[in-house]
Chain A
Amino acid sequence: MSSSTVSVSAATPTLHPFQRKVDDIKPSKTDINFVIMDYLVSEGYPRAAERFAKEANLQLPHDEESIQSRVEIRRAIHVGDIDTAITKINDLNPQILDTDPALHFALLRLQLIELIRTCTSSATSDITPALNFASSQLAPRAATNQEFLRDLELTMSLLIFLPATETLQKELTELLEPSLRRNVASKVNEAVLTSMGAHGEARMRSVVRLRQWAETKARAAGKDIPPSLLLGLQDADERPANGNTEATDVMVQ
């Protein structure tokens, strides 16, 4: 804000020089809106993307028909319905999994985990389906790749320890956490995007990482920056009414 009317009580005497530099930078709203739209489209939030196009007067990118299938694939992976996910990916472009064995293996392993989960939680505890799936689908792939083999062995040991989840070691509990499905889903999403010639990763992610990287580097290089750089996400509603939140952010620390 360069308006003279805005910064009435802003002149905090101890404003860090770095904070002044931060305040002097005026990001363009067009850029930010572009980053938001890019995020909504590439990470698959079609309804939000559509609304945003209207509200911000932007054009929806052309590949919108792919959003829906990407959302369905993501959803299928999230709920553990890997069969459906693989079918849908192949419908979209069979090359995607053919050319990325690691991704294909990750999906199959998720499917195995779901099978094990179902087997061990059922009353009969019949683990045959899981064993069959492992030997027919995963074992041939794992034979050629050390990393796959290790992953497969680890996954198979779930068969022994489940359903006693309390005593599982960390490596094994990680296999059961939703974050694994989320990670695989986002890798699949990226692969689909790349296969369509789109910018793979959402720019929003790159920017968030860039900030982290730059802060780490700057601190390591001993640059003169405040001990803590706040974004103001947490205390958005408890700001003093002086319009200069950056200053207070820093001062609070």
Chain B
Amino acid sequence: MNARRESWARVAAAGSLGSNQGPARSGALSHLVNSNPTSHNRLSRSIDADSHHHHNNMSTSWGRAPSYNSQAGYWQGLGGSAQDMPPFFVPSYLRGSKHAEKLQESHKAKLVAQREYKSTHSPSTGSLSTSSSSVNLHKIAPSHRGLTHEVIERAPVFVDEPVAPWPTKWNEGDRFQQLHLEDGGRLAKFSGTQKTHDEAAAVRADFPMPRQCGIYYYEITVISKGKDGRMIGVGFSGPKVALSRIPGWEPDSYAYHGDDGQTFSNTTTGKSYGPKFGTLDVVGCGINFRTNTAFFTKNGHMLGTAFRDLKLNMPYYPTVGMKKPGETVRVNFGQEPFAFDIDKMVQDEKTAIQAEIARTKVYNAPEGEDALIHQLVGQYLAHDGYVETARAFSDEIVDEARALASDEDAEIPYRTAVEDMDALNRQKIRRAILEGDIDKALKHTTAYYPSVLRDNENIYFKLRCRKFIEMIRRCGELSAQCHPVPTPNSKRSTATTLNKRNSTATEEYDFEMELDEQLGVHNPPPSWDNKDDDLEDDDTEDKQARHQRATDETIGYGMELKAEFANDPRREVKKALEDTFALIAYTDARESSLAPLLEISGRVPVAEELNSAILVSLGKSSSAALERLIQQTEALVTELADDGGPGAFINVRRDFLY
């Protein structure tokens, strides 16, 4: 439910349409009818620009979608907002992690908020981007499980508690004064003179290393060890450790020193650890929060565990310190590829944890893992109204059990899912929505569950919007037929798809009539989707006429929709209306950046939501046991990730559901 609201919200980036409704529609219409690509008026272009912008944003903000081909953390192009917010990057070893996804989502939410602020404060936000950004979407679209749909359906998790960001640069406000920062805070340089032997200059990063990463790692390159020394210390420290001392010498401060290769923790007495380091050496520092240990690397080689028993509740900031004039260090928090193969180290950790999970015995299922899974699947199918599947599955399970028992009359433990009228009715409603026949779904719902639409106005609204979208889809199809691409196959393929549609529609034809009579409903002929006509007429002229009619009806329905909901004070309703209406602006919306709204897969969430509402109205649980199992799993894993435990290495969705 959340999901859709968010997607509406995101799509309606412009927000300017509402105030310009009149000209927008007429402009859009002439557009639609003439289908002349040169007739873009100013307004539709600005919609275009805005929506592309939005798009940009969408395609960059979903961690799973792009396939990153470089080893480095990737930088996100942020269109016009780059100056206002630092670019977002994900260190290579954290890619695909749950924490990276969360950070990305919160970053995106900030961007949206910022853009909304901008669009209300400066009226001319158009002409920011060109159509090239839609390329991204086409890359995402083909998928065996409907990624585009995913883009629409998946809500950004609205994070109540702030997500811990990772370090991005040295902190200008958290440095010793002798130390100067350059290159956007990536370069730290000792300038000035050393006053006493013990005095040093240190700087901390802008954020502590987040425990939720499981392992956090960064590297520095010694640009220059200065004239007469290489007293450089690399490590981490708590937020209150004095910056006038070399890291490692104070309580809560840990470091590896270049001049002697020793490690220091909380004291000025070092322990021999690794080689010395100097100019052009790359030194890495990492914490494994699961084991509470820290390690260093030099020029890509692991030097082993340096510190154990780190404090569990202390925020550790990457810290570097130096003593001699000219000493210069450049930091890499993941913006660039690392010298050490930290990706492999993290991957090994993940693999070990996954192997442990695979060995886990499911002990809290009294009848064993198989029986539990059978029940979960069977209950889900029945609960969500997949009646035929539930039946077939139960038959196959019973078959299997019989074979195993080698006894025809054996008692079969699997309980056949209880079937009832409700399941069948819900199945009918779902099928209608999945076929795009929203009217039928509305009718069935009103007939069987009169209170549901009344009590769930938001669902009713979404169904009405979906109907509008289906009408626009229809217009697009008809329009495509009016201007057929001159390939010999085009006509036939159109005919077969229509045939298919028709056959599914006729199955319930009698029932439809009956129901109409019972209800005393007289529906106007659904001519916007008049299937019989489609089959008979192949005439372009007729098609044009039908296209015209469909367009008129779509507009008519749109007006009706607007009249019904225009005064609705809810923000999401307004947004949804704006989005949906924005679709009319395109000759063929399927080619536009708003195409995701038109995806057939967009029917699924509407169908699911209605199904859940019906279940609730019947006093049944709105979610199946399998759903609850996944919820619990996610929540448990999050518990295990927050303190840097093993859960930090698990992304339930990516690693287990995908």
Contact = CB atoms under 8 A, between A and B. Distances in A.
A221 B384 CA distance: 36
B361 interface: yes
Interface stretch (A73-81, A88-96, A137-145, A152-160): A73-81
Interface in A170-194: 178, 181-182
A45 interface: yes
B400 A56 contact: no
B437 to A, nearest CB: 13
Given A5-B457, A48-B396, A233-B625, A209 B358 contact: yes
Given A36-B381, A80-B406, A212 B361 contact: yes
Contacts of A207: 629-630, 633, 652, 656-657
Contacts of A6: 456, 613, 616, 622
Nearest to A19: B635
Contacts of B370: 182
B427 A55 contact: yes
Nearest to A45: B396
B633 A214 contact: yes
Contacts of A209: 357-358, 360, 362, 369
B199 interface: no
B392 A221 contact: no
B377 A39 contact: yes
A178 B639 CA distance: 39
Given A182-B404, A218-B639, A236 B388 contact: no
B637 interface: yes
A206 to B, nearest CB: 5
Contact of A75 (B377, B403, B458): B403
B496 interface: no
Contacts of B377: 36, 39-40, 204
Interface stretch (B42-50, B174-182, B604-612): B604-612
B4 to A, nearest CB: 10
Given A6-B616, A29-B604, A245-B621, A214 B640 contact: yes
B633 A210 contact: yes
B212 interface: no
A23 B2 CA distance: 13
B619 interface: yes
Q: Among the interface residues B397, B406, B633, which one has the most CB atoms of the partner chain A within 10 A?
A: B633
Interface string A1-40: 1110110000000000010011101111111101110011
A48 B630 contact: no
B645 A221 contact: yes
B380 A36 contact: yes
Contact of A206 (B357, B430, B629): B357
A160 B291 CA distance: 53
A63 to B, nearest CB: 12
Interface stretch (B26-34, B106-114, B145-153, B278-286): B145-153
Contacts of B418: 237
A36 B626 CA distance: 10
Interface residues of A, number: 76
A206 B363 contact: no
Interface in B377-399: 377, 379-381, 383-384, 386-389, 391-393, 395-397
A210 B145 contact: no
B386 A205 contact: no
Interface in A29-72: 29-32, 34-36, 39-40, 45-48, 50-52, 54-59, 61
Contact of A210 (B3, B456, B652): B652
B386 A55 contact: yes
Interface string A196-211: 0000010111111111
A217 B362 contact: no
Given A1-B1, A3-B1, A48-B392, A205 B627 contact: no
A227 interface: no
A101 interface: no
Interface string A223-253: 1010001011100110111010110000000
B392 A32 contact: no
A243 B622 CA distance: 7
A32 B626 contact: yes
Contact of B630 (A32, A58, A79, A182): A32
A216 interface: yes
A214 B637 contact: yes
A22 B153 contact: no
Interface in A82-126: none
A212 B360 contact: yes
B332 interface: no
A59 B146 CA distance: 10
Interface string B317-350: 0000000000000000000000000000000000
Given A30-B153, A210-B650, A2 B373 contact: no
B622 A211 contact: no
Q: Among the interface residues B389, B406, B608, B647, which one has the most CB atoms of the partner chain A within 10 A?
A: B389
Contact of B392 (A51, A215, A245): A51
B310 interface: no
A208 B640 contact: no
Contact of B389 (A30, A31, A55, A80): A55
Given A3-B458, A30-B149, 5 more contacts: A25-B631, A32-B626, A34-B145, A51-B391, A221-B640
Interface of B: 1-3, 5, 144-146, 149-150, 153-155, 356-358, 360-364, 369-370, 372-373, 375-377, 379-381, 383-384, 386-389, 391-393, 395-397, 400, 403-406, 418, 427, 430-431, 434, 455-459, 600-601, 603-605, 608, 612-613, 616, 619-623, 625-640, 645-647, 650, 652-653, 656-658
19 contacts: A21-B638, A30-B601, A31-B630, A52-B381, A55-B387, A57-B434, A182-B404, A201-B358, A203-B656, A205-B373, A209-B360, A210-B650, A217-B640, A218-B640, A231-B632, A239-B619, A239-B621, A240-B619, A245-B621
Interface of A: 1-3, 5-6, 18, 21-23, 25-32, 34-36, 39-40, 45-48, 50-52, 54-59, 61, 74-75, 78-80, 178, 181-182, 201, 203-218, 221, 223, 225, 229, 231-233, 236-237, 239-241, 243, 245-246
Query: Which 5 pairs from chain A and chain B are nearest by CB?
Result: A241-B619, A214-B636, A48-B393, A78-B403, A47-B392
